[in-house]
Amino acid sequence: MLFEATNLEYRYTDGTPGLQGMSFAIQAGDRVAILGANGSGKSTLLRVLDGLIFPSSGLLTFRDKPVTELSLKASAFNQEFRQSVGFVFQNADAQLFNATVQEEVGFGPRQLGLSEAEVHGRVSDVLGFLGIQHLAERPPFRLSGGEKRKVAIASVLSMNPEVLIFDEPFLGLDPRSQSWLVRTLEQLQAAGKTTIVATHTLDTVPKIADKAFVLSESHELVCVDAVSAVLADKQLLMAANLIEAPTMAVVH
Partner 1 sequence: MSSAYHFRNERSNVHIPDAYLSPATEAVATLVMVPMWVVASRKTACELTSKQAPLLSIGAAFCFAIQMFNIPAIGGTTAHALGAVLLAILVGPWAAMLGMTLTLAIQALLFGDGGILSLGANCFDMALVAPFAGYAVYSLIAGKSSNLTPRRLFAAGLGAYAGAVCASLSAGVLLGVQPSIAHDAIGHALYCPFGLHVTVPAMVLSHLLVAGPAEAIITVATLGYLWKTFPEFSRESATVRVGTKMRLAGKLAWVLALTPIGLWATGTAFGEWELSELKQMVGYEPAGIANAHSVILPLLPDYSFAGLSGKPWEILGYLVSALIGCCVIALFTRRILGRGTSSSFDLLKPGIPSSAVPNWMTLPNPPVATSALQRTRWFESTLLKMRTAIEKTFAAEEVARKPGFLQSIHPMAKSVGFASAIVATGLAQSEQFLAFLIASVLVAAAGSQVPLRSFIERVVGSVLFFGLIVAAPISMKSVTSGPVAFSILGLDISTSGLHCASMILLRLAAGISLAMLWNLTTRWHEMLRSLKTLGVPQFFLATAALTYRYLFVFIETLAEMVEARTSRQVGACSKVQARQFAGNGGAILFAKSLAFTDEMHLAMQSRSVDVSSKKPKFTAWKPRDFGAALTGILCLVVIALLGHIHAF
54 touches partner 1 (CB under 8 A): no
Q: Which is nearer to partner 1, 137 or 244 (CB)?
A: 137
By CB under 8 A, name the one of 21, 24, 63, 136 that touches partner 1.
Answer: 136
Check: CB of residue 212 under 8 Å from CB of residue 33: yes
DSSP code of residue 169: T
d(CA 217, CA 40): 5
Question: What does DSSP say about strands 163-167 and 194-199: parallel, antiparallel, or unpaired?
Answer: parallel
Residues of span 149-188 touching partner 1 by CB under 8 A = 155-157, 159-160, 162, 187-188
Q: What is the nearest approach in angstroms of partner 1 to the Cβ of residue 18?
A: 14
d(CA 153, CA 157): 6
Comparing C-alpha atoms, which of 209, 249, 248, 244 is closest to residue 229?
209
d(CA 224, CA 215): 9
Q: Which is nearer to partner 1, 14 or 244 (CB)?
A: 14
By CB under 8 A, name the one of 78, 179, 218, 228 that touches partner 1.
Answer: 78
User: What residues line the site for partner 1 (CB under 8 A)?
Assistant: 13-14, 47, 50, 52, 73, 75-76, 78-79, 82-83, 86-87, 89, 91, 93-100, 102-103, 107-108, 111-114, 120, 122, 124-126, 128-134, 136-137, 139, 141-142, 155-157, 159-160, 162, 187-188, 190-192
